[in-house]
Amino acid sequence: MNPAITYIGCDDRDLQLFESQYALPEGMCYNSYLVSGGRIAVMDTMDPRKRDEWLDNLRKALGSRKPDYLIVHHMEPDHSGSLSAFLEAYPETTVVCSAKAQGLMAQFGAAPASVQTVKEGDTLDLGGLTLRFIMAPMVHWPEVMMTYVPELQTLFSADAFGKFGVYHADEDDWACEARRYYFNICGKYGAPVSMVLKKVASLQISTICPLHGPVLEGERLAEALRLYNIWSSYGVETAGVLVAHASIHGNTARAAEQLAEMLRARGIERVAVTDLCRDDMAEAIEDAFRMDRMVVCASSYDNNVFPPMHQFLWKLQQKAYQNRTVGIVENGSWAPSAGREMKALLEGMKDVRIIEPLVTIRSTVSQESLAQMEALADALAG
Ligand code: FEO
């Protein structure tokens, strides 16, 4: 990172659930930066959980200087939650943000004395450095913007290119937690993400400074851009099959494992199995988007589908799951209903091809259902 940029972010190792829903085995980091030209800009504030630590980082980085600008890229509280505390400490700072962000500030209880709203392409002269603003609406809130500093070839990308984990987590594998973060948080917004990627494609970028996760440079930056182009266009990252099961007493789970073996035996390189009742649902969502094929296997329940599967498919629908091939395995001891319900949910998704046969298991796998499973495995491998 260029010496004109000072990192002043914080790690949160104690937070268990991001957005009160996503497991954080490696914690989380919230990034904030100081950009120093002749004048000084602070890039975003901090989650209130880390407010004091961040204000301390800021004071140390400033030394005897005062910030001229606070650039607010995103109003979600994990970044703007210390805005009022910042304004109390530095009331003369001009807050720079999109018009939409200004509208949100009062709702979150912040009242800056000086606000400068900016729009696409506007610039701010920091004295030797230029901040050029790029609007990024719906990545993943409507007020989001990014900032490009041409002299430093640096893009401040808001939540884009973020990941779960403290700053130095998963240093050898950025993609794993970046993918889980992307599909669960931004997955629904592929079109706006694609649009902003097109806008920045012509820029010389050697450094990306996101609001979560490490600063990206070199090979890691190139790989992140490659993956974001695939993810935002709902393309296939890995050819393979996700077998997702929701099983009440274990028989459907055993059938799912059996089907996974059939798929492996047919030479499908990547076959992942997930237990929707016990495994991390966010990881199952990520794997569904990652691969080109999926099989959903579920018990029937209350003349519907077993709720963990319903929740999974509902979430996929919310995240705009699309352009994939899906097989269905239902289990029902007296009146199978899961297949009908799963099919109806899948049919509401864009370009999801349901592959035949729909396998029906009656309690446990029989010769008849085994033959159906072999036929489904053939179809998926074909
Ligand atoms: Fe990291 Fe959308 O907040």
Q: DSSP readout, 350-362?
A: TTEEEEEEEEEEB
At 351-382, the pLDDT tens digits run 999 999 999 999 999 999 999 999 999 999 98
Dihedral, CA of residue 270, residue 271, residue 272 and residue 276, to nearest 10:
150
Output the six-digit token pair for 193: 């993400």
Dist. CA 99–CA 288, nearest whole Å: 36
Contacts (Cβ under 8 Å, ≥6 apart) of 124: 41, 69, 96, 116, 118, 130, 131, 133
Q: State phi, psi for 105 to the nearest 5 degrees.
A: -60, -45
pLDDT higher than threshold 90 for residue 94: yes
CB 74 near ligand 1, within 6 Å: yes
Distance 187 CA to ligand 1 centre (A): 13
Q: CA 37 → CA 152, 265, 329, distances in Å?
A: 11, 61, 61
For ligand 1, atom 3, which residue shows the shortest CA distance?
A: 76
CB 76 near ligand 1, within 6 Å: yes
Q: What is the mean pLDDT of residues 315-327?
A: 97
**How sure is the predictor about 65, in pLDDT bands with cuts at 50, 70 and 90?**
very high
Distance 170 CA to ligand 1 centre (A): 20
Round the average pLDDT of the chain to a whole number and report it. 97
Confidence at residue 140, expressed as pLDDT on a 0 to 100 scale: 93
Confidence at residue 71, expressed as pLDDT on a 0 to 100 scale: 98
Distance 158 CA to ligand 1 centre (A): 8
At 172-212, the pLDDT tens digits run 999 999 999 999 999 999 999 999 999 999 999 999 999 99
- pTM for this entry: 0.95
The residues that bridge with 304 in the sheet, in sequence order, are 301
Dist. CA 268–CA 72, nearest whole Å: 47
Confidence at residue 89, expressed as pLDDT on a 0 to 100 scale: 97
CB 78 near ligand 1, within 6 Å: yes
**How sure is the predictor about 1, in pLDDT bands with cuts at 50, 70 and 90?**
confident
- 239-381 to CATH, choices 3.30.1280.10, 3.40.50.360, 3.60.110.10, 3.40.190.10: 3.40.50.360
Dist. CA 66–CA 112, nearest whole Å: 16
Confidence at residue 179, expressed as pLDDT on a 0 to 100 scale: 98
At 28-62, the pLDDT tens digits run 999 999 999 999 999 999 999 999 999 999 999 99
Let me know the angle formed at the C-alpha of 32 by 98 and 36, rounded to the nearest 5 degrees. Answer: 85
CB 49 near ligand 1, within 6 Å: no
Q: CA 268 → CA 160, 254, 262, distances in Å?
A: 32, 19, 9
DSSP for 182-227 reads: IIIIIGGGHHHHHHHHHHHTTS--SEEE-SSS--EEHHHHHHHHHH
Residue 16's CB is within 10 A of a number of other CB atoms, namely 11
The residues that bridge with 11 in the sheet, in sequence order, are 29
Distance 159 CA to ligand 1 centre (A): 5
Cite the residue boundaries of each domain of the chain with CATH code 3.60.15.10. Answer: 5-232
Tell me the residue type at 63: G
CB 79 near ligand 1, within 6 Å: yes
Distance 32 CA to ligand 1 centre (A): 12
Number of the ligand 1 atom closest to the C-alpha atom of 30: 1
Dist. CA 233–CA 191, nearest whole Å: 7
Dist. CA 50–CA 32, nearest whole Å: 12
Q: What is the mean pLDDT of residues 77-101?
A: 97
Q: Which helix (DSSP H) or strand (DSSP E) does residue 93 occupy?
A: none
CATH of domain 5-232: 3.60.15.10
CB 212 near ligand 1, within 6 Å: yes
Q: Are 39 and 116 in contact (CB under 8 A)?
A: no
Distance 169 CA to ligand 1 centre (A): 18
Dist. CA 345–CA 316, nearest whole Å: 10
Number of the ligand 1 atom closest to the C-alpha atom of 159: 1
Q: What is the mean pLDDT of residues 327-337?
A: 97
Number of the ligand 1 atom closest to the C-alpha atom of 77: 3
Q: CA 363 → CA 127, 247, 298, 336, distances in Å?
A: 72, 11, 11, 10
- Which residue has tokens 């009331």? 91
CB 47 near ligand 1, within 6 Å: no
Distance 80 CA to ligand 1 centre (A): 9
Distance 340 CA to ligand 1 centre (A): 37
Distance 235 CA to ligand 1 centre (A): 24
Number of the ligand 1 atom closest to the C-alpha atom of 158: 1
Contacts (Cβ under 8 Å, ≥6 apart) of 142: 100
Confidence at residue 268, expressed as pLDDT on a 0 to 100 scale: 96
Number of the ligand 1 atom closest to the C-alpha atom of 185: 2
Confidence at residue 135, expressed as pLDDT on a 0 to 100 scale: 98
pLDDT higher than threshold 90 for residue 277: yes
CB 159 near ligand 1, within 6 Å: yes
Dihedral, CA of residue 355, residue 253, residue 245 and residue 357, to nearest 10:
10
Number of the ligand 1 atom closest to the C-alpha atom of 212: 1
Distance 180 CA to ligand 1 centre (A): 14
Count Cβ neighbours within 10 Å for each residue of 160-176 and write b for 16 or more, e otherwise: bbbbbbbbebbeeebbb
